Amino acid sequence: MSDTVTPDTPEKKPSGEGGKTGHYVNPAPFNPFSVDELTPEQERYYQASQWKIMWWKFRRHRLAVWAGIILILMYLMVPFAEVIAPYTTEHRDDDHIYAPPQGIHLFHEGSFVGPFVYGYEYELDMERMVHVYKADTTKVQPIRFFCSGQKYKFWNLFEASFHLICPAEGGTLFLLGTDRLGHDMLSGVIYGARISLTVGLVGISIGLILGLLLGGIAGYFGGLADAVIQRMIEILRSLPELPLWMALSAALPVTWSPVWIFFGITIILGLIDWPGLARAVRSKLLSLREEEYARAAVYMGANPSRVIRKHLLPGFTSHIIASATLSIPGMILGETALSFLNLGLRRPAVSWGVLLSEAQNITAVTVYPWLMAPIIPVIIVVLAYNFLGDGLRDAADPYK
Amino acid sequence: MSNRLLATALAAGLAFAHPSAGQALELKETGTLSNTHDVGKLPPVAERVPSEPLIVDLAASGRTTGRHGGKIDTLIGRSKDRRLINVWGYARLVGYTEKLELKPDLLKAVGVEGDKVFTLHLRKGHKWSDGKPFTAEDFRYWWEDISTNDKLSPSGPPKFMIADGKPPKIEVLDATTVRYSWDAPNPLFLSQLAAARPPFIYRPAHYLKQFHIKYGDKEKIAEMAAAAKKRNWASLHNSMDEMYSAKNADIPSLQPWILSEKGNDRRYIMVRNPFYHRVDSTGQQLPYIDQVIMTVSGGGLIPAKAQAGEVDLQARNLAFSDITVLKRGEKNANYKTLLWPIAKGSEMAVFPNLTVKDPVWRKLMRDVRFRHALSLAIDRKGINKSLFYRLASEGNNTVLPKSPMFEKSYLTKWATFDLKKANALLDEIGLTKRREDGIRLLEDGRPLEIIVETAGESQEQLDILELISETWKKAGVKLFAKPSDRDVLRNRLLSGSTVMSVWGGYDNAIPTPAMSPAEYAPASVDTLWGVAWGDYNLSSGKSGEPIDYPPARQLFDLFRKWEASSTDAERAEIWKQMLEIHAEQTLSIGTVSGVRQPVVVSNRLKNVPKVAIYGWDPGAQFGLHRMDEFWMDK
Amino acid sequence: MGSYLVRRLLTMIPTLLVISFLIFLIIELPAGDYLSNQIDVLRKQGESASIAKLEFLRKEYALDRPFLERYLVWLGAWSGPHGFDGLLQGNWGWSFEFEKPVSEVVGPQIPLTIVLNLSTILFVYMMAFPIGIYSAVRQYSWGDYTATTVGYLGLATPDFLLGLILLYLSNRWFGLSIGGLMDKEYIDQPMSVAKLQSILAHLVVPTIVIGTAGTAGMIRRLRANLLDELNKQYVTTARAKGLGETRLIAKYPLRMALNPFIADIGNLIPSLVSGSVIVSVVLNLPTVGPTLLQALRSQDQFLAGFVLLFVAVLTLIGMLISDLALAVLDPRIRLGAGTSK
């Protein structure tokens, strides 16, 4: 019968075709949990540990990442200062006083020679009482790499003379020039990194220990302990740093070897810094203490140290690390200020602060400006720590 | 010597007593006086200048006659240094000339008999800066009412007034003549009067009497004492009686410039003294310069400010190392940098403290071989080359070639660079045990580490110490430099805590036989190699230690002999013996001498000598060169 | 509000007492004292008159008494040679180096110190404000990185060297006299337009040097607060509802973020005042900084003690003001919520 009207049967049509209904129907099997199911990315995110999330967030702050890389490179340099620096800090060349930096050249009179420096042509201008140095283009001094140069005592343990970079035999390699007694500035900067960079770390550890301890007590127990510690914090914060530094530094006996004086200074800087960390710890603890998981732990009978260690600590570790990182540059700058006041380290110990205080005069600023070169690593390190700290702080609260 | 001085004095006196000298000179009024004073309140110049002024012959010393006016801007590192105006002014009873001879200055003449009797003749009509007469009464007042008054001077009169334990007899012969008579010779007397920091054996009696219980109104004194927070009249008198420190603007003075009321804690304005006793040969009353303005600035900025042209005259707080930047600024800032030879025995000397309390160090310091070794282990040539452009002379801390007593051996004995000998000497003493780093050990096991204390005022000292420490290390001696504070250092020296210190070498390294060798004997606390002995001497045995070391004893006895000597030949011989002992004993370890002092002089400031000696005593820094004769050209 | 103020003031008093004690302790730490040093120095001159004078002074200022007594005499809580005459009675002490009352030495320096600190605070706010906002709004952009680098640069450079360099440059390029707070002719003159101009010109270098060091902290704070706000729900809502970006930020989050920003004076003042001490020394400014350093070096104890106390009080007042400002703006702090168990 051709006149019979038969309704269309709901046929299984392939997806994508409009078919008779015009809807799009997904041919895939129906999954009732599809809304709750996670995509692979989301799965990764939600299953990731706290630290992983922080790392991802940290990575977004590109400057912080670069800062971290730079700092790691610098710290790697610290144990090998003797090898990297072409000279030791005691080395003096009294034939090259106030010598300007030697530039590195590759081509000499058109032909490629490899990295080299030109020797100095020297004249003492008695009219203007100034050392005059010119590059002597006849003296080509190729730079040696992985060479045997000036002897040194590696970490004061054994003698060696292996250097990464040395001057040519009988030549000079003053890439940042020399100072008024003929010390190489570049070597000074490299050795100085050792002290200036570690001052921050050691000082901050002391500050951290004190800050965690006292801030923890104040935040967790509250009440009288809190009030007392808060008063202590307020008092220490309103005492100006300068005279504290002066008085405490004056108490360090000068017979102490430079190493001990260094530790003494870091202790002083750390002692003055703990209030900042303690405050941060305290405020964090105060809020975290009220969280349900913490209260649950207390009700279940955990003693305070367990509660703090297992439950509260993970919550604010990242914040503390961020705060601590931000305090380190203050210590580095503090060391330079102490050296400026003649209270910190002194030669033969060389730190960036010592070098900068030797450049603190009009002669260095106007006539021999390369003496101010240590200012650059100081700026770089302080900036790096600041950016690193910012990045860490941004990443510190991953569940925000 | 006494006869020579007598002759000079009489000759000088005669010259001024000559009537035509004083009257033929037509005095010109100081036109710029109104800049600093209310002219209405002052008498005309003929009444301000003494009727027997000191007439300066500028042409004879190669100088030009100047004009009144102008101000000298200079910088000082701390406010206390404003007292230097009384050093640079250098108006003394008797003063040194450029040839280092003593000539009467404030005094018209001095009569000397055998170094025992000194007759001081004042100038007629000489007035204090407030216009009141300067008379013999001012001398009497000082002696009878101040230095022998047990409330004002509990320890008695100053040492140089005592000869052989006895004070002088003082007679006021008339208003302008005073006579001091001692039983034993007192050759120190005149040279003390010419010192950079003089003893001021005269005071403005008319001003100070109001504070003295004997003359003043008791009630008024009590009032003033309370207002100034002073306990009693003596304390009040003492605080008002400040001739040197330029603290009290009210106290009358005889110096060319005096502190004025204007100005404040950071900017001291010294104005001319309208009653100054010197005139130039055209009749103009000195000083030419109206005002000396001393601004306090942090020491570190002074070279920066000098090269920017902010000063007219500056020597203090400028070190040789600043010379490059000073030369640079000359053109733009319109000044010249002069280089004056420094009159010190050594730019820096190392002083072992032979009176240190620690017994082990004491023994070592007193061993002459130890001192020799330390001196032989210094590379003076290297120091000269690295720091002084090879301009200085290397050698001991001793007199300079300019002095008539100089001998080459004094300079070079035990002052060569000989590490082998140094090591041998130290081995000889018995310091043969060493640590692994090569530093020797003392007999009690402590390492031979010497803490050398400095006054912390000079980077140059620290640089020299760094160079010294390098070579001492090669002899097995470790040096730690400890910069401190000047006053703290002195304190520690006195208490015997300091093992070794550094300071400049002898202040007076160009002595003539007539000058006192006190510096070279352990006679005062300035003798940094034997502070406790000097203390003992100054305090008359009340503190310090008696001398128990033969060379020191010899030096002290020679000094006493000099004080009792009567001829120049005798004195020269004593000097030579003392210098010989120093050269042989190396009581102080010198480095280099003859370093130059940069002096910034504005191109507008005239009559400043191009090359001149720069020293404290003698010299008074600018004083010897007669700052009152400098003048400002537009 | 009133009760909060009273409570804060009352807690300040014991704090002040402890601070004064600590200050006194620190000053007395190095051995010796000014007068003993001077006495020994004068011995060499045989200046017996001066020595007698100094012995009087020793008794006068109770320097021959034990430590605790000296402290209490200084405070004015114990009877000294002049009865009760210490800080509490308004006697700021005597300066041995300058030989006049501390009030006369430090008095003229206090207004300039305050002016300097105020101008640096202003500078800090002016610098930190735009940089902080930009950095929060455009987080992680290169503009953010550049702006914050500029802001942090001042912190990273050691003040003393930067000061010297700027002094020299301003002298070369602008003819400004080196150091000091005004040209030397005006030092003893009364205030005038010309003097004011000179002061302002000389204020530029110290303000920049001290201020740039404080900017970093402020930038960070503003940025952190603003970021906190920007992540909140109401901002997303407003954005979804179509509010323009600038208006969106200015109207709500900025105001919320400003509260702690303004109230953080308490954090700023200690570092500024302390930083200004060193910079004042280098630049030779007539503020309390160089006076303090010199007094500490020569052990001029009453002068040093007073300046330290002044600096500490300045800091405490700053912290009080910031706490008050915070209390006014944020009721939660006032009512003490969150601090009790």
Instruction: Report the C-alpha gap between A9 and A19 in whole angstroms.
Output: 12
Residue in the structure block whose two tokens are 């973020």: C257
B356: its two tokens: 């240190």
Q: How close, in Å, is residue A125 to chain B by CA atoms?
A: 10
Q: What residues in A contact C316, CB-CB < 8 Å?
A: 238
Chain B contact for A257, CB < 8 A?
Answer: no
Residues in C touching A61 (Cβ below 8 Å): 140
B617/B626 Cα distance (integer angstroms):
15
For chain C, how far is it from start to end, CA to CA, in angstroms?
23
* Cα angle B229, B232, B235; round to 5: 75
CA distance C25 to C41: 26
Question: What mean pLDDT, rounded, does chain C reach?
Answer: 76
pLDDT digits (tens, 9 = 90+) for B544-595: 889 999 999 999 999 989 988 878 899 999 999 999 999 999 999 999 999 9
pLDDT value, residue C55: 67
Q: What is the DSSP letter of B356?
A: -
**Neighbour count for residue B533 (Cβ, 10 Å):** 27
> Which tens digit of pLDDT belongs to each residue from B243-266?
998 888 899 999 999 999 887 778
Output the pLDDT for position A240. 64
- A234 has a pLDDT exceeding 80: no
Instruction: Determine, for residues C164 and B304 on separate chains, whether the beta-carbon distance falls below 8 Å.
Output: yes
The model's pLDDT over A297-354, given as tens digits with 9 standing for 90+, comes to: 888 888 877 877 777 777 777 777 777 887 888 888 888 887 877 777 777 788 999 9
> Which candidate from A286, A333, A362 shows the least CB-CB separation from C158?
A333
For C255-282, the pLDDT digits (tens) are 766 766 666 666 677 777 777 777 888 8
Q: How confident is the model at residue A19, as a pLDDT?
A: 56
When scoring A180, A361, A365, A371 by the number of chain B Cβ atoms within 10 A, the one with the most, hence best to mutate, is A361
Q: Work out the minimum CA distance from B449 to partner chain A, whole angstroms.
A: 8
DSSP secondary structure code for residue A309 in this structure: I
- By Cβ distance, the residue of C34, C179, C187 closest to B301 is C179
> For residues A179 and A185, is the Cβ–Cβ distance under 8 A?
yes
Per-residue pLDDT band at B4 (split at 50, 70, 90): very low
Task: Retrieve residue B20's tokens.
Answer: 């035509």
DSSP assignment of C254-304 equals HHHHHHHHHHTHHHHHHHHHHHHHHHHHHHT-SSHHHHHHHHHHHT-HHHH
C264 touches chain A (CB under 8 A): no
- Interatomic CA distance for residues B276 and B129, integer angstroms: 7
Look at B463 and A181 and tell me if their CB atoms are within 8 Å. Answer: yes
Beta-strand runs (E) in B132-284: 169-174, 177-181, 257-264, 267-272, 278-280
Record: contact C105-B265, CB cut-off 8 A: yes
B400 within 8 A of B346, measured Cβ to Cβ: no
Q: Do A94 and B325 touch (CB under 8 A)?
A: no
Residue % of chain A over a pLDDT of 90? 14
Among B303, B382, B470, select the one facing A362 at the smallest CB separation.
Answer: B303
Mean pLDDT for B496-512 is 91
A246 touches chain C (CB under 8 A): yes
Query: What pLDDT shows up at residue C316?
Result: 77
Extract the tokens encoding B192.
């003390």
Shortest CA distance from B534: residue in chain C? C44
pLDDT higher than threshold 80 for residue C76: no
- Interface size, chain B vs chain C, as Cβ–Cβ contacts under 8 Å: 131
For residue B17, the model assigns a pLDDT of 39
Task: Using the predicted structure, report yes or no on whether residue C319 has a pLDDT greater than 70.
Answer: yes
Do C291 and C303 touch, CB atoms closer than 8 A? yes
Both tokens assigned to C224:
């952190």
Strand B449-454 relative to strand B500-503, pairing: parallel
Structure tokens at A138: 């006849």
d(CA B353, CA B529): 5
Q: Subunits with at least 3 CB pairs below 8 A relative to chain B?
A: A, C
Contact C319, A234 (CB under 8 A): yes
Of A238, A246, A360, the CB nearest to C160: A360
A57 token code pair: 């967030």
Do B425 and B373 form a contact (C-beta atoms < 8 A)?
yes
Interface of A with C in 305-334 (CB under 8 A): 326, 329, 333
pLDDT value at B18 more than 50: no
Give the residue carrying structure tokens 């082998």.
Answer: B420
Nearest partner of A187 among A156, A212, A219, A150, judged by Cα: A150
User: Percent of chain B beyond pLDDT 90?
Assistant: 60
Q: Rounded to whole angstroms, how far apart are CA atoms C198 and C183?
A: 6
- Is B7 a residue whose pLDDT tops 80? no
- Facing residue for B324 by CB, picked from A129, A254, A342: A129
pLDDT of C341: 34
Quote the CA–CA distance of B341 and A40 in Å, as a whole number: 86
* Residue B352 backbone phi and psi in degrees, to 5: -70, 135
Cβ <8 Å between A97 and B386: yes
The reply to whether residue A255 touches residue B480, judged by beta carbons under 8 angstroms, is yes
| Contact residues for A257 (Cβ-Cβ < 8 A; gap 6+) | none
Is the CB of A61 inside 8 Å of chain C's CB atoms?
A: yes
Contact call for residues B221 and B211 (beta carbons, < 8 A): yes
- Which two three-digit tokens encode residue B304? 């920066």
A239 lies within 8 A of chain C by CB: yes
Residue C97 has pLDDT above 80, yes or no: no
DSSP 8-class letter at B200: -
pLDDT for the residue B614: 93
The shortest CB-CB distance from B155 to any of C51, C178, C294 is to C51
pLDDT tier at A166, thresholds 50, 70, 90: confident
Q: Average pLDDT, stretch B616-624?
A: 90
Residue B3 binned pLDDT confidence (cut-offs 50, 70, 90): very low
Give the distance, in angstroms, between the CA of residue B368 and the centroid of all CA atoms in the same chain: 30
Extract the tokens encoding B115: 């170094």
B365 or A57, which is more confident?
Answer: B365
pLDDT 10s digits, C18-53: 888 888 887 776 656 666 656 655 554 445 555 666
Nearest chain C residue to B539 by CA: give it.
C43
Measured between CA atoms, the residue of chain B closest to residue A358 is: B459
- Provide, rounded to the nearest whole percent, the portion of chain B with pLDDT above 70: 96
Task: Give, for B454, the enclosing helix (H) or strand (E).
Answer: strand B449-454
**Residue-wise pLDDT tens digits, B88-142:** 999 999 999 988 889 999 999 999 988 889 999 999 999 999 999 999 999 999 9
**Hey, how many other C-beta atoms are within 10 angstroms of the C-beta on A85?**
27
Contact list in B for residue A88 (CB cut-off 8 A) is none
* Residue scoring higher pLDDT (B402 or C216): B402
Residue A246, pLDDT score:
63
User: Which residues does residue A318 pair with via DSSP β-bridges, in sequence order?
Assistant: none
- With CA atoms as reference, report the closest residue to B350 among B102, B174, B591: B591
CA distances B148 to B151, B161, B289, Å, are 9, 11, 39
Chains in contact with chain A (at least 3 beta-carbon pairs closer than 8 A): B, C
Indicate whether B1 pLDDT > 50.
Answer: no
pLDDT bracket for residue C333 (50, 70, 90): low
* Band of pLDDT at residue B2, cut at 50, 70 and 90: very low
DSSP letter string, B603-631:
TTEES--SS--B-STTTTTTGGG-GGG-E
C339 with A241: Cβ contact below 8 A = no
Residue C176 near residue C265 (C-beta atoms within 8 A): no
pLDDT at B229 over 80: no
Q: Considering only residues A141 and B155, tell me which one the structure prediction assigns the higher pLDDT.
A: A141
Give the CA-trace dihedral at C191, C196, C202, C207, to 10 degrees. 110
Q: Which amino acid is at B591?
A: T
Q: With a cut of 0.85, is the ipTM above it?
A: no
Chain B contact for C56, CB < 8 A?
yes
B122: DSSP letter: P
Q: Quick check: helix, strand or coil at residue A190?
A: helix
Q: Please provide residue B440's backbone torsions phi and psi, each rounded to the nearest 5 degrees.
A: -70, 165
Q: What is the pLDDT of residue C56?
A: 64
Residues C54-89 as b/e (b if ≥16 CB within 10 A, e otherwise) read bebbeebbbbebeeeebbbbbbbebebeeeebbbee
Q: Is A205 in the B-facing interface, judged by CB distances under 8 Å?
A: no
The overall average pLDDT reported for chain A is: 81
Q: ∠ at Cα C321 (C317, C325), nearest 5°?
A: 170
- The C-alpha atoms of residue B378 and residue B399 are separated, in whole angstroms, by 20
Helices (H), B203-346: 205-208, 218-227, 233-240, 302-307, 323-333
| pLDDT given at position B204 | 94
* Predicted local confidence at residue A248, as pLDDT: 65
Q: Residue A55, by phi and psi: left (phi above 0), alpha (psi -120 to 50) or beta?
A: alpha
Can you give the pLDDT at residue C280? 84
Burial class (CB in 10 A: 0-12, 13-18, 19+), C341: exposed
Confidence of residue A2 (pLDDT cuts 50, 70, 90): very low
Identify the residue with better confidence: A155 or B221: B221
Q: What is the pLDDT of residue B284?
A: 92
CA dist., res. A296 & res. C180, Å (int) = 63
Shortest CA gap B76–chain A (Å): 17
CA distances from B48 to B85, B133, B277, C236 (A): 21, 10, 8, 90
Cβ contact B322–A128 (<8 Å): no
pLDDT score of C336 more than 60: no
Residue C51: the pLDDT is 61
Separate counts of helices (H) and strands (E) for chain A: 14, 5
CB atoms within 10 A of CB A120: 22
> In the structure encoding, which two tokens stand for residue A270, read together?
């750390």
Measured in whole angstroms, the distance separating CA A152 from the mean position of its chain's CA atoms is 27
Chain A residues in contact with C319 (beta carbon < 8 A): 234, 237-238
Interchain CB distance below 8 Å, C227 and A237: no
CB-CB neighbours of B184 under 10 Å: 13
Distances (CA, A) of A386 to A161, A199, A319, C156: 37, 16, 14, 9
Per the structure block, which two tokens stand in for A44? 């990764």
In sequence order, the 6+-apart residues with CB closer than 8 A to the CB of A303 are none
Query: Taking CB atoms and an 8 Å limit, are B487 and C298 in contact across chains?
Result: yes
pLDDT in tens, C168-202: 888 888 888 887 777 777 776 777 888 888 888 88
Residue C49 in contact with partner chain B when CB distance is under 8 A: yes
Asked if the Cβ–Cβ distance from C277 to A287 is below 8 Å, we say no
